[in-house]
Amino acid sequence: MSSVTEVNTTEYEADYDVVIVGAGFSGLYQLHRLRDELGLSVKLIEKADDVGGTWYWNQYPGAQCDSESHIYCYSFNEDILEEWQWSERYPSQPEVLEYLRFVTDRLDLRENIEFDTAVTGASFDETGSQWTISTDDGSEISSQFFVTAVGCLSEPWVPDFNKRDSFEGESYHTGRWPHDGVEFTDKRIAVIGTGASGIQVIPEVAKEDIEHLTVFQRTPNYAVPARDRPLDDGDWSEIQDNYDRILRNAHESGFGMPFETAYPTAEDLSMEEVREILEPRWQEGGFRFMLTFEDLIINPETNEKVSEFVREQIRETVDDSEMAEKLVPKGHYYATKRPPLHTNYYQTFNEDQVSLVDVTETPIERMITSGIQTTDAIHEFDMIIYATGFDAMTGTLLNMDIQGRNGLTLEEKWEDGPQTYLGLSAHGFPNMFTVTGPQSPSVLSNMPVSIEQHVEWISDAIGHFVDNDISAVEPRKEAEEAWTAHNTEVAEQTLYPTADSWYMNENIEDKPTVFTPYIGGVDVYHQTIQEVAEKEYEGFDLTESITDLDPRGDRPALSVMEGD
């Protein structure tokens, strides 16, 4: 049960019931639920000039979703499901962005979104039980509830290379790609990074009429072929005929995907038997391969056999045996770092105009005016592309200068790693909710499934609190401590903590080493948060206002805020 306290409060009339930050998948649905289904006054703030979140910013060549298109979508609106038809198995960035624009216009959401506006601060006023949100245009707005929908991979990160700004050529980060495109013709190009973004952009750059492409790799990755293809009318008709079942299975699965594991374990199988099982899934491509064995992420013997199969595929694909060995991962288990999908990534290294620098053998010493100096050579370039990832999970949240009770900042609270209750809220920060925040399944799932679960839970909770004159809601410290401990305990039962990954914050030197998402399963997680709600928001302290004022008051016409 929750704890309910009655207090006399000084009633301040807030500008809105809810302010949302972010107009990606999360923020758009959150706006729709609060505005159209609950009738609340809402303001959404977005720093870009359009919707899309991560699909607005990541416009680099080859940017593509790694969830299959028919499940990388909203499931809440049958009309949208019927009207929108995806063109390929894995949608590319332009198509996902167009889909989000379509949904935005279909639901008439733009009138409530303030574009070209960045949140610079948010602080909680205990006297009035409301949030004040500051923006980069010098404005302030207030709301009873504050919802962050800023995405898990939205704060680009570049390592602090020595003399990084000395390079005089063109420099780009895949997460902030120019929307008017980049010209590659006849240029010497460096790509730093071989994570998911690098694995997508490298083959696309190599296809251009370039002089040369040099890839700087620190950690080789296990990448599985996507096997992308167009979806014709027959494919789409079959999907539509089975959509209810497909989406239900996705929401009831561990990873938010409607694909069943084929075998419980590979532990007792010979390598030859494992190859026979994995080969059809390799040819099928995508995350169906990862879900072949049920114990992949908990059993080192199963994982090593799957890992070895992928290594064999890399060696068979790359012609130069020395280069192949550099591309073969050896220091971590498959899928304990984000497991990218690829289209001709390894084949790219068979091209004469592509070379590979292993920075574990010859580290980057400094950037110079003409390029990059390693311990054994000077490499001259016209362009450097940083595919170096993000300050994942917490970066954007911490950069917004969020202050809770008694001036406590979120950065101070999370100095030793995120501490949340259910990945939804944090002790010391009343009336604040985070969509797909740290310690929720988020990046370990098909994101729209986790987003819908969070948005619907948050919306139902806010509706309940407003209808029952609850002025403030905050998770108890002991509930937060228990969930944080549970998140760590579940992670330690898996192989994830054995890898130096951004799941563990290891990509950024000064971040605490903790496993940040929740790996207990989308299905188990959803059941857990539903039970909390059914038990009258167990683990939360609720403050009930006893003023006679309408908790909604006179509010301005509906509106919304920076994204997935």
Q: Is the pLDDT of residue 553 over 60?
A: no
Structure tokens at 512: 């605490």
Residue 486: CB atoms within 10 A of its CB come to 15
CA atoms within 13 A on the CB side of 162: 9
Per-residue pLDDT, averaged over 497-508, amounts to 96
For 479-496, what is each residue's pLDDT tens digit?
A: 999 999 999 999 999 999
Q: Nearest-CA neighbor of 252 among 45, 423, 453? A: 453
Percent of the chain residues past pLDDT 70, beyond the cut: 95
Q: Are 276 and 266 in contact (CB under 8 A)?
A: no
Where does residue 394 rank: exposed (0-12), middle (13-18), buried (19+ CB within 10 A)?
buried
Q: What is the dihedral of CA 344, 348, 350, 355, to 10 degrees?
A: -160
Which whole number is the average pLDDT over 451-462? 98
What's the residue count for the chain?
564
Structural contact between residues 404 and 410, judged by C-beta atoms closer than 8 angstroms: yes
Q: How far apart are CA 132 and CA 347, in angstroms?
A: 53
Other Cβ atoms closer than 10 A to 263: 15
301-340, pLDDT tens digit by residue?
999 999 999 999 999 999 999 999 999 999 999 999 999 9
Per-residue confidence (pLDDT) for residue 385, from 0 to 100: 98
Of 302, 227, 309, the residue nearest 267 (C-alpha)? 302
The enclosing H or E element of 197 equals helix 196-207
Give me the percent of the chain exceeding a pLDDT of 90. 93
Model pLDDT for residues 121-168, shown as the tens digit of each residue? 999 999 999 999 999 999 999 999 999 999 999 999 999 999 999 999
Q: Is 455 helix (H, G, I), strand (E, B) or coil?
A: helix
**pLDDT surpassing 50 at residue 193:** yes
pLDDT confidence band for 12 (50 / 70 / 90):
low
Which residues, in sequence order, are CB contacts of 14 under 8 Å at separation 6+?
128, 130, 142, 143, 144, 553, 555
Residue 8 has pLDDT above 70, yes or no: no
560 vs 42: CA distance, rounded Å: 6
pLDDT at 551 over 60: no
**Integer distance in angstroms from the first to the last C-alpha of the chain?**
33
Please, is 232 exposed, middle or buried when counting C-beta atoms within 10 Å of its C-beta (0-12, 13-18, 19+)?
A: exposed
- Cross-strand bridge partners of residue 213: 189, 354
Structure tokens at 34: 């609060």
pLDDT at 564 over 50: no
Q: What is the pLDDT of residues 22-44, one digit of tens each?
A: 999 999 999 999 999 999 999 99
Confidence at residue 550, expressed as pLDDT on a 0 to 100 scale: 41
**pTM, 2 dp:** 0.94
Q: What strand order describes the sheet that includes 540-545?
A: 3-7, 540-545, 470-475
pLDDT at 5: 56
Question: Which pLDDT score is estimated for 6?
Answer: 52
Strands 42-45 and 383-386: unpaired
| Distance in angstroms (rounded) separating the CA atoms of residues 30 and 458 | 8
Confidence class for position 2, pLDDT limits 50, 70, 90 = low
The confidence band for 13, taking pLDDT boundaries of 50, 70 and 90, is confident
- In this prediction, residue 375 carries a pLDDT of 98
Q: Say if residues 222 and 329 touch (Cβ distance below 8 Å).
A: yes
Confidence of residue 260 (pLDDT cuts 50, 70, 90): confident
At 549, is the pLDDT very low, low, confident or very high (cuts 50, 70, 90)? very low
Q: What is the pLDDT of residue 22?
A: 98
435 neighbors 393 (Cβ within 8 angstroms): no
Mean pLDDT of the chain: 94
- Tell me the average pLDDT across 407-433: 98
